[in-house]
Structure formats: structure tokens, C-alpha cells
Structure 1
């Protein structure tokens, strides 16, 4: 009886009852939870937004949007009580909005990290401190280390090319990303590119990301302690991961505090300051966030771009020409004016990020406090009831034909148009790193790493898809189902980041 009353209320009397959406989603988080467990919630959201319109009820207390106004708004004006004017407000730049309470379900150490801190002041303090490791000055200091790791990547590709072995780009770039983050966050050489010993970390991170996303989309899993079913998966890897983490911390603390250009060196003089709000012990938890935030994001961008270059040979030829005409040697490829002049390279990276956003799902937000502003919470003209989670489906927005012509075609030239109206329209709907105070602090680092890897690889090698079934890894398959049927789309699997596989490529060294 109670169950029927709850369903009846959510369908007919709930403040969100007038919004369209799948029937099951209106009455239960089981809908989102089911597709989150299947790692295709981003595809289902895209399909639902196409079916029901730009605002969809995707849970009993959730509204998902697909519009630039909801993403970043045209106006930042707050509700004016004196003039009684309602203006549009966005979600992610809005001072009244914070991360949804579901992020609390991902707290494991008892203290929130930069990823799951809901308190805005606490998040700002953490972000300001951690951000010191990825400022322009810090990146200039760290660049030689990054270049050294990229050179190892090139050597590993060279070894595979001499053996005529296919290179799984996802595997190679994940190892590269983890090695770079290991040096940046802990000043520690994980050596994943050349030694398999620590590669279990990647599996542990993937399991953790999947688990967190499942909890956030379907809180009942954790509330009913059903999370134990998920925790069993990868338990051994997580224990090994914790032991390695302790080893990394002990190793770093045994050195002089400024011995390396890493996170600890950049922030150590500000730790345990009450105005900062981050203790030395908490710093290591924050450092862990660099792995998914830095490693996974860049890995997805690079894997996707290699995939699309293999699929679109005209783009491949044009980008290869730009790189080889700009640089006279591989060693000359580094951060600076020459790299910045490669406009087509940047367009290719942006197009890969549009087609295959590293975080393609919805970053849920909710009203934080009305202590300063007592007006209604408006998103893209919709008055949002208290207690409602709101968010934008990035994957859906990136593939909306209102903002991107032929949205499932990889076309980097779209970003080089001289038509400012078209460019403005696209940029309003483009958000691979999120925006606002919670946006990705490492955006510049991600672009730099991707640019260097792609440029150095294309300068040194030619490549094609591996023959046979190996060459099909990463592709969609005709008739496979919702969002999985496009062969020329790099397939992503939605966790709180993205899982993917491939492409498998055959590299041939250039003979100069």
C-alpha cells in the first residue's frame, strides 16, 4: 500500500510531475542505476533528451538539461526582489548551487576531498592549494619530466613498430598518464610504461570510478549496504593500491621538501595553515585525485583522437602535414610558440573532446543556500523546486545538431571557421572539462600533454588501423543497440569518467 502511495505521489503530485521522462525514472532511481551499472547512462540520456525534449525528469528528484543556457547561461543576474524580475540562471557558474548530496556517498576517509567536497568555501581552499601544482609556472618547471615520460612512450611505440605488433592506444596512454601523474602528485616513478609491476593501479582506479558512479546514480546501493557486492570486485587490487600509496608517501617524505617539482614541493609551505584548510595527511588524499582527473581525462582525449585520425584519413594527412612542416625535429616539439601555432592540432583535440567527452555524463548539482538570495532558483527559464538535483548531459549537448552540424562526423575544420556567430554557438555548448569553480583545474595541462604526444607521434611515425578484428576494437557495431551502432564513433563506457578500449594501430617509423 505504501509503495503504491509513493508511486502515485511521484507520478501525479510531486513538484516535478509535469516534466516528461521515462515512467520508471519518474518513480525510482532504479532507472538511472540500471544503466549506470551497464556503463551506458550517457547514451540513454542522449536518447531520452531526443525523445522527450531539452529538459527530462531522469529520477524522482532529478532534471537533466541539454542547453547552453543551463550549462553556462546568458545572464548571471540574480533574482531581483525589488523589481520582481526573473532572469535565466545557469547551473555550473551559479553561486547558489553546489555539488549534489550524492557526492557524499563517495567519501571514504571520513573527510571530503576536492572531488566530493560539497561546502563551497572548503572546496575553494582545497582547489586554490592543489592548483598551485598546475599553474603556468609550475608546469614550466614540470615540463622536462613530462617530456621525459612522453619520450618513453615514443620508445615503446617504436619497439612495437619494429616487431610489427599492434599498439592498443588506450593501454599505452593510460600507462603514460599514470606515470606523469605519479611524478606530478607524488614525485614517484611508477614506471608503468616499461614495467608491469604497478599496472594493477589502473584496474583499481577503474573499479573505484565505476563503484562511485553507481552509488551516485543509485544511492540505494549504498544505503542498503549492497555496495558490498561491488566492493568484492577488485578488493585485492585496492589493498595492493593502498600499500603502494603508503610506499609512495614514505618515499617522498624521506626526501627534502623541494627535492622534486611535484605537488608536495609546490604546496608544502602552505600546509597545516588554518586559512588553507588542508593538513599534510589530507594532502595525500587530494593527490590521489590527480589520477582520474589528470590521467584519465587526457587518456580519453588522446585515445579518441588516435581513433578518429585512423578513421578519417583526410584529417590524418592534414594534421601530419601541419606537424611535419612546423617542426624540423622531434626534439624541437615542446611547449612554446611553434606548438601554439599548430591551430589544426588544437582543432583536432577539441573535436575529439566534443565527440568523445571524458566526462560525458551529468554532473549533478543542487541549491546550496538561500541565505543571501531568497528568490526562486531558475535554470533556463524553469523554476526548480527545492531538493531537486539538476545537471547538463554533456554528451547530449556535444551531439546536438542545433549547435554542431553533423554532430556524429569528426570535422576539426568546424573549429577554424571565421564565422564568429557559428563559433560562438559551438563554444556555448562545448564543455569537455566542465566550467565554473568546480571545473577542471588541470585543463591547460591536459591540452599540453595531448598536444605533445600527438605531435611527437605524428612527427616520428605513420600509422594505420590494425588488420582484422583487432582493428575494429573501439568501434560501434551496427545493430548493437542504443548509441553503440555507429562504427566511426569511439565507444566510451560511462563511469564517473570514461572507460574505453583501443584503437589498435600499426605504426611504421618514418625514414628521413
Structure 2
């Protein structure tokens, strides 16, 4: 073929591409059923818009600022609407005819079976939840608590070694909390000791989890990129293989033990493995193990890291909480689940305010009307009739910073969760009881049949860890770290300019770094740790 034949083909192909692009643009701007919803121009044209910000790990911030510009409902992608109201929250996630959005198909990576978190079919999810959810109930946590406490004791001893008198060693709390989270969840999943708090062998796991979570989040918002999964996986092939080997060896080692050797996920589901629709398929154990490590370990680590950040930068809150802990318990041995810990209302308020300020999962959890329900009643969200095939969702970060529900939303105020002031009238100025409105808006573990089952574990681990740390130590921001180590930088205009806000990266679960703190031994209470 000579050049005289090639040129017409190039021109024809170019014209065809231009016509196709114009047709696609017209269909999404002029004829699309979502054409009248506001949103950035590029968002109405292509999934590349949210995909770009997902790649940069800041989609939660861009979404928040888009709500300030466009109002409580906006078109974030050609076939996606996102809402910022309580009514929408309940209309979406409490609707029995709604299932997870098609975007979750891109989150399965190369797994043969979906996990409980990305199972789109409602019946499939219900089957999985029936068995797997048993490991995370409050009753299960009571049985697992001694194991959790033993891992927290290791965490405390590491802080003790850093708290050298006169010359304390700064501690990056994020790293230590991540190691604690991985070690706890390894034991809860398969009675497996990763020992990341004390040994190097498996310390690569948090990085692999972050890389996997980032890819999943990116694919969910820009599905075309999922076709590059094999390429991207190759770039981190060595770590992926190490992680896969770790999970495989963990499962095989546990299956070689007696079913009741540990109180863990395996002991609960062992009798149902290989039972198909009456239980779990054999291949389903692997993705559930990965999910446990990814979701169970990292989200609690985020909450604890953020709480250390906010306490270290809010002296009045720190003092009130420390007083509550140290006056409620007479010894460290008393700090366990039960009435005494439950009586620490300010501790719970601090955890709730941390979850509100810095949600451990920043993902937009997409939903859509299930195909088999399309012919019945219309799907209505906050008064809007949602066309079939449209994915809808709520950004918890934006909802938790909606001034209509949470005044002074970027101020850390545990008192907003109390029905009565702690420390007398002078301790809390202008305090009001908790309103029904903010309780309805506050759903860090989501609501409905797809809500996170790990709520009991998260609250127990955070409560025990923070209470015991404050029993043994005082802590503060390490010298020279006040304006860094997890804080926003004044002057930035990308949503990261608030120095009093713990900075998170949106990678489905949240990634973070810091704060860097120094821990000082409290009187002689720390000697109990030295003797153990």
C-alpha cells in the first residue's frame, strides 16, 4: 500500500473518531437522562474525571468542594450521581431493592470469587454475611478480647522502650498502629501471628494493602483502567507474590490445626467450607482472608492514628479524657470490656468525633437499583427519580463535614456527642444535647444490610488501646513536628490547608502518615509493663 492509499484511510479514521466523539458528547450533555444535574463539565463527559482525582488520592476533597459549588446533588460521572443529605443516605442504603453498583465489578482484581465487600448479588452477600459476620459480633469480641489485649500489650511495651527518660525517641504512630492492626486481624482471621510489631518479615503487608486499595479505588471510578491490572500488578509483582504467599501459608497452617485451636474466623466457618450455596465454596476463603486483613486491620489503625493526632493538638480534650480514664480505673488490669469501660462516655465521644472528622474509609459506596426490580416502583433518592442503570452514592467525608448537620465541622469537638457536659459547666461552653439529626447523619460503618460488620471490633480495639496508653503514658507532638506529621499545610488551596485536620489519602480505605509523638512514662504506673 503506497502513501496515496494510506492518506485517505487516515483521514477517514480521523473523521470517524471526531464524529464518534461529537456524538458521545452530545448524548451525555444533551440527551442523557442525567443531563439536568449539575457538575463539572468533564465529569458529565467521562469517568476519567473522578478517575484522575482517585489516582491522586484526593477524590474525597474534590467531592467536598464540588458540593460547596454545585449543591447537595451532583453528577460526578456520566452515569453517577452523588448526594450530600441525610434523606439521600437513608433512601439509598436502606432501600431493599438496591444493590451494590456495577463499579464493584472492577474491585475484584483477579480473584475468582468476590469477597463479602464486593459481592453485588444480594443473596450472595447475605449468604456470606451469615457465616463471616459471626466472627465480628460483640459476643465473638468478648471471646477474642484476651488475644487482642495481648497484642495491645506489645504495642504498649514498644512505646515504653521509646519513652527513655530525658531522651524519648519519636514514634510515628501511623506505622505502629498499622502493625498493631495487622497483628490483631491476623489472629482474628486465622489465629496467625504476623508479628509485624516486633519483627520485619511481614512489615511489607501495610504497603501492599495500600497499593491494592489504591488500584481498587481507581478502577471503581475509572473502570477502563482495570484493563491495565495485569500491567500494574507486574510493577509490584514481588510484593504481590510475597503477600499471596503469606495469605496462603496462613490459611494452610490454620487448616492443619484443630478447628477449635483458636477463636477466629476459621473456627466459625470451618464446618461450612465446601458446602457451596449451603455454606462457603472452598475458593471463597482466600478473598475473605484478604478482606479481613485489608479492611479489619487498616481501618482501625486509621481511627487510632487520627485520635492520637487530635488529642495531641487539643490540650483541653486530652486533659478531660486523661482525667476520665485515670479516675475510672484503679489499675491497668481493670481496663477491659464491661461496665467500667462503657462508663467512659468521653472516650466514646472522642472516638466518634475522630470517626466523623477522619472517616477510616473515604470511598463512595456506589449503589444502584437491582435489574430485577426495574419494572416495579421507581427508585427515588431525596425526591429525585433515578433512571435505571444510574449509580448513586454518598460521600461520608462530605456528609460528616456538612455544616447543616455538624456546625464547626472542621473543629474537633467530642462534646457534640455528649448528652451532658463532662467536667462541670466550665468544661464545656455552650454545650447542647446530641440531636437526632446528627445521630442520623453519623454512619461511619454505614447502615443497612451492607453495613460494616466490624463495628464491635473497631470500638473495642480503639477503646482498649487509647485507655491503656493514657493509663501508662502522657504524650505530645515531637519537637519540630507541630506543623507536619499528618497535619494540613496552611496556605494550600487543595483541601489540605487545615493544620488541625489529620490528612488522609483516599484509596478506598484511608492512607495516612503520622502523627510523630513522644511518649513520657506516667509516674511509676509504667513499671507494670516492665514486669510483664
Same structural fold, with TM-score higher than 0.5 when normalized by the shorter chain: yes
> Which residue, out of 220, 233, 238, partners 1:216?
220
Secondary structure of the structure 1 residue equivalent to 2:449:
helix
Shift of 1:61: 0.4
- Hey, what does 1:84 align to over in structure 2? none
> Which residue, out of 35, 49, 52, partners 2:53?
35
8 Å contact from structure 1 (residues 293, 440) kept in 2: no
Between the two proteins, the alignment pairs up a number of residues equal to: 493
8 Å contact from structure 2 (residues 272, 279) kept in 1: no
> Which residue, out of 472, 477, 485, partners 2:489?
477
- Hey, what does 2:314 align to over in structure 1? 312
Q: Which has the larger radius of gyration?
A: 2
8 Å contact from structure 2 (residues 205, 243) kept in 1: yes
- 1:102 lines up with 2:120 in the alignment: no
Tell me, which stretches of 5 or more residues in structure 2 are unaligned? Answer: 1-18, 421-430, 525-532
> Which residue, out of 193, 196, 202, partners 1:198?
202
- Hey, what does 1:490 align to over in structure 2? 502
Shift of 1:219: 0.6
- Hey, what does 2:190 align to over in structure 1? 186
Q: How does 1:2-17 map to 2 (within 5 A)?
A: 2-17=20-35
Q: How does 1:393-432 map to 2 (within 5 A)?
A: 393-417=395-419, 422-432=434-444
Tell me, which stretches of 5 or more residues in structure 1 are unaligned? Answer: 73-89
CA distance in 2, matches of 1:218, 1:442: 28
Structure 1 residues 454-463 or 269-278, which shifts more? 269-278
Shift of 1:294: 1.1
CA distance in 2, matches of 1:497, 1:372: 31
Shift of 1:254: 1.7
1:145-180 residue CA offsets vs partner (Å, 9 max, x unmatched): 000000000001111112611111110000000000
8 Å contact from structure 1 (residues 65, 391) kept in 2: yes
CA distance in 2, matches of 1:371, 1:18: 25
TM-score where L is the length of structure 1: 0.94
Shift of 1:93: 1.2
- Hey, what does 1:290 align to over in structure 2? 292
Secondary structure of the structure 2 residue equivalent to 1:468:
coil
Q: How does 1:353-502 map to 2 (within 5 A)?
A: 353-371=355-373, 374-417=376-419, 422-469=434-481, 472-502=484-514
Q: Give the superposed CA RMSD.
A: 1.5
- Hey, what does 2:528 align to over in structure 1? none
Specify whether residues 421 and 145 from structure 1 end up closer, same or farther in structure 2 by C-alpha distance, changes over 3 A only: closer
CA distance in 1, matches of 2:277, 2:53: 42
Shift of 1:283: 1.8
Secondary structure of the structure 2 residue equivalent to 1:390:
strand
TM-score where L is the length of structure 2: 0.90
CA distance in 2, matches of 1:324, 1:221: 52
Shift of 1:478: 1.4
Shift of 1:497: 0.6
Shift of 1:372: 8.6
8 Å contact from structure 1 (residues 359, 497) kept in 2: yes
Specify whether residues 511 and 469 from structure 1 end up closer, same or farther in structure 2 by C-alpha distance, changes over 3 A only: closer
Specify whether residues 6 and 120 from structure 1 end up closer, same or farther in structure 2 by C-alpha distance, changes over 3 A only: same
- 1:143 lines up with 2:161 in the alignment: no
CA distance in 1, matches of 2:285, 2:248: 13
Shift of 1:274: 4.1
Shift of 1:421: 7.8
8 Å contact from structure 1 (residues 35, 41) kept in 2: yes
> Which residue, out of 502, 505, 512, partners 2:517?
505
